[in-house]
């Protein structure tokens, strides 16, 4: 979502004649768009500012803004501790960034914009065309979260759940497709909680799928509690919807899920995966796991491993529990660091192994790849198959924006390499 926000910030600042530059030391305004999900995010900001200070030691100081969730959560502290920062701007206030920059240009004092006016934000953004011109583009449809998992900062930094209207989303999706997008990834902190005047995510997917040149739709990130029947069914009815579902579970133990306030059980989670597979056996899953959550015993950890093997996630993102200031879990006693690390290593080894087995199973198979860009290496093109696997092929023809059948020849954990399967022209003769 930060990537989407950063692109929208660029669209906004163009209005006051700021354009992006790759010439780092010549920039006259820096915007650090930050994430607060993991520990050390704030230290990273101080580190980046330190680097800027050195770089601009003998030059005119650039305008320095800190945007995103660190700004929202710790804006006042940042401004107090680091005078080099001119302003902080929370993720729900960035539509006011031009006003902020203008004030700083006019020698205003340090500024903190961190209101939660998400309606005003999207009203302002709607008036500016999304100029993203990537083959695979992001589209934020929903923001914020009402779930309050005990470890998570999102409800405090992004605010309550808010869904944008279908009308404005279809308009923006159309703009993206006109700019060249062939795949749209619908984004939300709780994307399947999308609810605008009783229209759900499945309704939005159907509407967006009507856009002629749009070939693929994805959505992320879902919460098991909001995985309603209509969303399950749409995986049968909408061909443009990709069959990879990212469905974070966080732990395989009901006891830990309860103490995290996840609002679902493992049985309910498995029931969703079962229903989805019944409706479309091609579906595969990826997930997020927190390892070493306070109170996690060896037995709880074992249950996470059991779940990993049972669902056969093709991708699992796992992290050691990271205590975020301001969340209820911050005050819980952590399990021993050494133990948490050893569990993470064990978990990731098994997850990696599953991934290798899965990738090997693709060798000699034909997959459909949407090509996103030409690589710097001569005649090589990068794309993704339906399950978001990275695929590289060689071609003398321009493949960007095209979907091709690719036979996978070899691969490693991260990338598959293949060749284009030529179209066979069949001629039918009457007997
Ligand atoms: S559902 Fe996701 S975004 Fe919401 S509080 Fe839980 S982890 Fe955070």
**Ligand 1: does its nearest atom lie under 6 Å from the Cβ of 154?**
yes
Query: How far apart are the CA of 148 and the centre of ligand 1, in A?
Result: 6
Q: Is the pLDDT of residue 195 over 50?
A: yes
User: For residue 143, what is the enclosing H or E element?
Assistant: strand 142-143
Q: Is 147 in the pocket of ligand 1 (CB under 6 A)?
A: yes
Indicate whether residue 149 lines ligand 1 (CB < 6 A).
Answer: yes
Q: Whose CA is nearest to atom 6 of ligand 1?
A: 149
pLDDT at 35 over 80: yes
At 430 the pLDDT is: 39
Higher pLDDT, 317 or 426: 317
Query: What integer pLDDT is reported at residue 381 of this predicted model?
Result: 97
**Residue 424: its pLDDT value, please?**
57
Q: If pLDDT is split at 50, 70 and 90, which confidence band does 117 have?
A: confident
| Span 377-388, average pLDDT | 94
- pLDDT (average), residues 337-360: 96
**Mean per-residue pLDDT for 289-308?**
98
Say how many Å lie between the CA of residue 146 and the centre of ligand 1: 8
Query: To 10 degrees, what angle do helices 266-279 and 229-237 make?
Result: 30
- Of 101, 97, 91, 113, the closest CA to residue 28 belongs to 101
pLDDT number for residue 181: 97
Smallest CA separation from ligand 1 atom 8, residue: 152
The per-residue pLDDT for 330 is 93
Distance, CA 141 to ligand 1 centroid (Å)?
Answer: 16
CA of 19 to the centre of ligand 1 (A): 34
Q: What is the four-CA torsion angle of 358, 359, 363, 368, rounded to 10 degrees?
A: 100
Would the CB of 192 count as within 6 Å of ligand 1?
Answer: no
State the closest ligand 1 atom to the C-alpha of 261, by its place in the atom list counted from 1.
6
- Beta carbon of 157 within 6 Å of any ligand 1 atom: no
What pLDDT, in 10s, does the model give residues 206-228?
999 999 999 999 999 999 999 99
Strand order in the sheet with 315-320: 244-246, 284-291, 315-320
Mean pLDDT of all residues in the chain? 92
**For residue 431, what pLDDT is reported?**
37
Helix (H), strand (E) at residue 124: helix 118-126
Report whether residue 189 contacts ligand 1, using a CB cutoff of 6 Å. Answer: yes
Residue 151 alpha carbon to ligand 1 centre in Å: 8
Enter the pTM of the model.
Answer: 0.90
**CB-ligand 1 contact for 235 (6 Å cutoff):** no
Ligand 1: which residue has its CA nearest to atom 1? 147
pLDDT of residue 83: 92
């Amino acid at each position: 979502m930060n990537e989407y926000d950063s692109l929208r910030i660029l669209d906004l600042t163009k209005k006051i004649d700021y354009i992006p530059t790759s010439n780092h030391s010549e920039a006259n305004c820096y915007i650090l768009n930050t994430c607060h999900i993991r520990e050390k995010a704030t230290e990273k900001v101080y580190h980046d500012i330190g680097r800027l200070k050195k770089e601009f030691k003998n030059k005119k100081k650039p305008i320095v803004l800190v945007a995103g969730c660190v700004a929202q959560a710790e804006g006042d502290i940042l401004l107090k501790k680091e005078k080099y920062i001119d302003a902080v701007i929370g993720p729900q206030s960035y539509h006011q960034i031009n006003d902020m920059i203008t004030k700083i240009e006019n020698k205003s004092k340090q500024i903190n914009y961190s209101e939660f006016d998400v309606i005003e934000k999207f009203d302002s953004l709607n008036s500016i065309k999304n100029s993203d011109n990537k083959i695979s583009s992001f589209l934020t449809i929903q923001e914020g979260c009402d779930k309050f998992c005990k470890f998570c900062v999102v409800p405090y930094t992004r605010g309550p759940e808010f869904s944008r209207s279908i009308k404005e989303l279809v308009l923006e999706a159309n703009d993206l497709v006109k700019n060249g997008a062939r795949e749209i990834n619908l984004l939300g902190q709780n994307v399947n909680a999308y609810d605008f005047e009783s229209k759900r995510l499945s309704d939005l997917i159907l509407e967006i799928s009507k856009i002629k040149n749009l070939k693929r739709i994805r959505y992320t990130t879902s919460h098991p509690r909001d995985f309603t029947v209509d969303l399950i069914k749409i995986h049968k009815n909408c061909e443009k919807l990709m069959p990879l579902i990212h469905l974070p579970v966080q732990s395989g133990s009901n006891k830990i899920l309860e103490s995290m306030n996840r609002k679902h059980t493992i049985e309910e989670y498995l029931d969703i995966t079962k229903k989805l597979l019944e409706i479309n056996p091609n579906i595969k899953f990826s997930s997020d796991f927190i390892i070493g959550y306070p109170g996690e015993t060896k037995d709880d950890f074992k249950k996470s491993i059991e779940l990993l093997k049972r669902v056969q996630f093709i991708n699992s993102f796992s992290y050691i529990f990271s205590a975020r200031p301001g969340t209820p879990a911050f005050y819980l006693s952590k399990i021993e660091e050494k133990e948490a690390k050893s569990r993470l290593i064990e978990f990731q080894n098994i997850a990696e192994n599953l991934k290798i087995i899965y990738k090997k199973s693709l060798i000699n198979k034909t997959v459909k790849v949407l090509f996103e860009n030409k690589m710097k290496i001569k005649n090589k093109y990068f794309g993704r198959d339906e399950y978001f696997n990275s695929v590289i092929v060689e071609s003398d023809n321009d493949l960007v924006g095209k979907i091709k059948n690719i036979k996978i020849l070899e691969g490693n954990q991260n990338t598959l390499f293949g060749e284009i399967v030529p179209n066979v022209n069949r001629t039918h003769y009457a007997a």
